Structure 1
Amino acid sequence: MRIVRSFIYNSSIFRSLKHKNFRLHFTGQSVSLIGTWMQRVAISWLVYRITGSTFLLGLVTFLSLIPSLVLAPYAGSFIDRHDKYKIVFITQIGLMVQAGILALIVWLSYYNIMMIATLSLAQGIINTFDTTARQSLMVDLVDNKEDLPNAIALNSSAFNAARLVGPAFAGFILSAFGEDICFLINFLSFFFVIACLLQMKLKIREREKSDENIWADLKKGYDYLRESPDLSSLILMLAASSLLVIPYTTLLPAIAKDVFHGNATTFSWFESAAGLGALFGAIYMAMLRPGKDLNQLTIFSSILFAVAVVCLGFSSNIWVALIATGFTGAGLMVQNSTINTYLQTHASSEMRARTLSYYIMAYQGVLPIGSLIMGSLAERLGVSAIVFSEGVAGILIVIGFILHQRKLHDGNWMRSMNPLRFRH
C-alpha cells in the first residue's frame, strides 16, 4: 500500500496529492461534486418535465448563477479581508441545508416553480462566496507552489469526473426513484466534505485589517485588472463565451427530449458525454509540464469548443451529437483551466481573490444572462438553430481575441502574456 501511495504521489499527474491538505480537499470535493451534479441534472429535468418551457429552464439557471455577476466582485473583496477556510466551511453547510430543503419539498410533491426558483437563487448566492473562497484557498493547500498548476488541473478533473459519474447515476435514479432521491444524495454528500474540512491543518497568514471601505477595495481590484491587460483580456474572452456559447449546456434537456425524443436517461447521456470529454481535458491539463504555451492552448481549446458546438447544433444522429457533446466538454474544460491557471499564478497575492472573483463573474455570472436569452430564443427559433448559432459565435469570439492580442501587443501577441510554459 505504501509503495502504491508513493508511486501516485511521485507521478507527474498526481504530484499535488502528496500535500495532505490538498488531498483532503480533493477527496471531499470528489464525493460532494457527484451529489452536486446529480442535483443539477435532477433540477433541470424536473423544471422541464413540469413546465415544458425552455424559457423557465433558462430562468432557473439564470437565478442560480446571476448572483455571481452581481456579488462576485464584492465577494472577492470580502474574502481578501477574512479567513477563506472559515468561509468555505460555512458555505458548505449552507449548500447542504439548501439541498435538504429541496429534497424535502420534492419528496412532499410540492412542485412549486416559485419555491424551486427561490432555492436556486439561494444556492447561487452561497456559491458565489464558496467558489471564490475555494479558488483563492487553492494556493494555501499545496506547500510547493510549483505544484499549484497540477492541483488546479486535478481539482478540475475531480469536477469533471463527477460530471461524468453524477449524471449517469442521476439518469438511473431519476427513472427508477425520482428527483427527490437525487437531492437527498446531494444533501448526504456534504457530510463527507465537511468531515474532510475539519481534518485540515492550514497555516494561512493573517491579513492586516484594512482601514479602507470594502467598496474602495473592490475598486482597487477593478483598477488592477484594467492595468493588467494580460489578465483582463482573458476574463473578457471568457465573459463573451459565457454569454453566447456556454449557454448551450442549458438547452441539453431540450435537445434530449425534443430533438432526439428521449427521456431522463437520454439527458444523462448528454451530460455524461460532456463530462467524459471534460475529464479527458482535465487529465491532459494535469499531465502538462513546463514547455507548453498556455496562450496557444487557450486559443486551440476555444476553437475546438466552438466547432464542437456547431456540430452539435446540426447533428441529426444521436451518436454524432453525443460525440460532439464530448468534444464540447473537452474544449470548454481546457479553455477554463488554462485561463484559471494563468490568473492564479500571475495575479498578486493581495489581489488574487479579487481577480478570481472577476473570473467567476465572467464565467458563472454572465452565463445566466446568456442562458435566459438563449432559452427564450430557442422557444421561438428552435433548439438546434440556436445551438448552431452559439457555435458560430464562439468562432467569432476567438477571432476577435486573436485580433485584439495582435493590436494590443503590436504583432507580438504570441509572447504578449509572458505565458507559463509546459511540456508533456
Structure 2
Amino acid sequence: MSHAWRSLRHRNFQLFFFGQSISVIGNWMTRLATSWLVYRMTHSVLLLGVVGFSGQILSFLLGPVAGVWVERLNRRKLLVATQAAAAVQSLALAALTLTHVITLWEVIVLTAMQGLINAFDMPGRQSFLVQMVEDRNDLSNAIAINSSMANGARLIGPAVAGLVVGAFGEGWCFLLDGFSYFAVIASLLLMHIKPMEVRHRTSSMLEEMREGWDYVRTFRPIRSILLLFAVGSMMGYSYPVLLPFFAAQVLHGGATTLGWLTGASGVGAVVSALSLAVRKSVVGLVRMVQIASTMLGSALILFGFSHTLWISLVLMGFVGFGLIQTASASNTIIQSLVKEGMRARVMGYYTMAFFGSAPFGSLLAGVLAARIGAAHTVMVTGACCVAGSVWFALELPKVKAEMRPIYEEMGLLPAQQEAALEAVPGA
C-alpha cells in the first residue's frame, strides 16, 4: 500500500498537502456557514440557488480566458495572489457577519468575488501539480491524494462548522477560514520550484483561446469526459444548495443536521479519493467515470424519497462517492492525455465544467424547488445524471479507441496487454 502515498515523497507536494489541508477545512466551514446564513436570513430555497449561482457564474464565464492567462504567468506567484485575495474575501465576510450588519446583497457580492478568484486559482493549481511533482509517473497519484485531502476536509469542515454555527454563529467560521489561507501561502513560499521553460508567444490571447477550444472540441476523449462532467456538475452538484431545506424541513433538524448531511457526503468522497490513490495506473478509469455518474444520479433520486436521517446519511455517502469519483477520475484522465502546451487551457475548461456548470444547476435547483419542491428537484437532477451516464456508455468504445494509442506510447498499455484488456469490461 506504500505506493498509495508515493507522490508525498516530493517535498514541494508535501508542503502543499499540509498547507492546503488546513485551508480546505476552512473552505468547507465557509460553504456550510454561508448556506445556513442565507437560509436563516431568507428561508428561501430560491435565494439559496441565487447565492450558489453568484458564487460560480464568473468561473464559467472566465474559464477559457483564465486558462490562457495561467500559461503566461508564474503559477506559484499566481497562487499566492489568489490565496491572499481569498483570505481578504473571507475576513470581510467575517467582519460583516460578526458585527451583525451583513445583508443578502453583501453575501452575493462577496460570494461572486470568490467565484472570480476560483476562475484563476483552479486552473493554476491543477497545472501547478506538474511542477510540484517532478516525476510524471506520480502525477495521477498526486491528483488522487489532493482529492483525498480535499474530501477529508469536506468530512471535517462541515462537522466542525455545524458545531461552531450552533455555538457561536456563522461569523466565526468565516474568520477561521480567512486565517486558514495563510497556511497555503506559507507552503507556497517555502517551495523550491524549478522554473518552467517560457515559450515565446507570437499569437494573441484570442488565438490561443481558439486553439484551446479547437483542441478540446476535436479530441473526443477530453470532449466527452468534459461534457459528462459538466452534466454531473450542473445537475449532480446542485444538491448542496437544497440541503439546508432538507435539514430543517424534511429531517426536522438544524445546523448540526446540515453538518451531518454534508459530512456524510464527505465520507463517501474520502472513500472515493482513497480508492483512486491506491490505483497503480490510470488504465480503466474511463469506465469508472460512467459508473460513478450512474451512482451519483441514482443516490440523488433515492435521497429525494427519504424522510429518515440515517437513510439520508447513507445516500449522501453514495452521492459524495459518485460526485468525487467523477470529478477526480475525469481530472486524472485529462491530465494524463493533454499536451503540456495545452494543459492550463484545458484545465480552464475543466474549471468551466466544475465551477461553471454548477451555478446554472444551483439556480435551476432553486427555481425548481420553489415550484415542485426540493424532494422532486433532487429526483429530476439525479435522473439527468443517469441519462448522462447512459450517453457516455454509448461513447465509450470510440473514446477508448482514441485513448489506446496515447497510453501505449506512454507505456501504460503495452501491446501484449491489449488482448487481455479487450476482454475485460472497463479496461
Does TM, normalized by the shorter one, top 0.5? yes
Amino acid at match of 2:403: M
Among candidates 294, 304, 310, match of residue 303 of structure 1: 294
| Partner residue, 2:152 | 161
**2:391 partner amino acid:** G
Match of residue 123 from structure 1: 114
**2:45/2:366 contact within 8 Å kept:** yes
Q: Does 1:276 align with 2:274?
A: no
The equivalent of 2:308 in structure 1 is 317
Work out whether 1:239 is the aligned partner of 2:225: no
TM-score normalized by the length of structure 1: 0.94
Letter in 2 for 1:343: I
Residue from 165, 174, 183 that aligns with 1:183: 174
**Distance (Å, rounded) in 2 between the aligned partners of 1:266 and 1:95:** 28
1:72 counterpart residue number: 63
Going from structure 1 to structure 2, the CA distance change for 1:289 and 1:268 (only over 3 Å counts) comes to same
CA distance in 1, matches of 2:180, 2:198: 32
Deviations 1:209-263 (A, max 9, x none): 4122211111110011122111111001111222222211221111111111110
- Structure 1 unmatched ranges of 5 or more: 1-9
Deviation at 1:143, TM superposition (A): 1.7
In the alignment, is residue 106 of structure 1 matched against residue 92 of structure 2?
Answer: no
Partners of 1:275 and 1:290 in 2: CA distance: 24
The residue aligned with 2:366 is 375
Give the superposition deviation at 1:291: 7.5
Measured after TM superposition, the shift of residue 302 of structure 1 is 1.3
- Using a 3 Å threshold, how does the CA distance of structure 1 residues 415 and 295 change in structure 2: closer, same or farther? farther
- Structure 2 distance, partners of 1:27, 1:345, is 25
User: What is the match of residue 287 of structure 1?
Assistant: 278
Give the aligned residue type for 1:335.
T
User: Is residue 337 of structure 2 the alignment partner of residue 346 of structure 1?
Assistant: yes
Could you say which residue in structure 2 is the equivalent of 1:417?
Answer: 403
Query: 2: CA distance between counterparts of 1:415 and 1:260?
Result: 47
- Return the alpha-carbon distance in structure 2 between the equivalents of residues 394 and 227 of structure 1: 24
User: Under a length normalisation based on structure 2, what TM-score does the superposition of the two structures give?
Assistant: 0.93
Q: Deviations over 1:251-296 (max 9, x none)?
A: 1111111111110000000110011110010111000013851121
Shift of 1:303: 1.2
Aligned residue identity for 1:59: V
C-alpha contact 1:160 1:282 (8 A) present in aligned 2: yes
Partner of 1:44: 35
CA RMSD of aligned residues (A): 1.6
C-alpha contact (below 8 Å) 2:87/2:178 kept by paired residues: yes
Secondary structure (helix, strand or coil) at the match of 2:252 reads coil
Alignment of 1:379-418 (within 5 A): 379-406=370-397, 409=398, 414-418=400-404
3-state DSSP class of the match of 1:417?
A: helix
- What is the count of residue pairs matched by the alignment? 409
Q: 2:23 aligns with which of 32, 42, 45?
A: 32
Q: Which amino acid aligns with 1:398?
A: S
Q: Alpha-carbon deviations, 1:81-136, whole Å to 9, x = none?
A: 11111100100000000011000000110121111110011111011101110011
Deviation at 1:377, TM superposition (A): 0.8
Secondary structure of residue in 2 paired with 1:201: coil
**SS, match of residue 281 in structure 2:** strand
| Residue equivalent to 2:417 | none
Which amino acid in structure 2 is aligned with residue 128 of structure 1?
A
1:345 maps to amino acid:
S
Change (3 A) 1:120 1:338: same
CA distance in 1, matches of 2:66, 2:282: 35
Secondary structure of the 1:351 match is: helix
How far apart, CA to CA, are the structure 1 residues paired with 2:255 and 2:103?
20
Deviation at 1:389, TM superposition (A): 1.4
Counterpart for residue 3 of structure 1: none
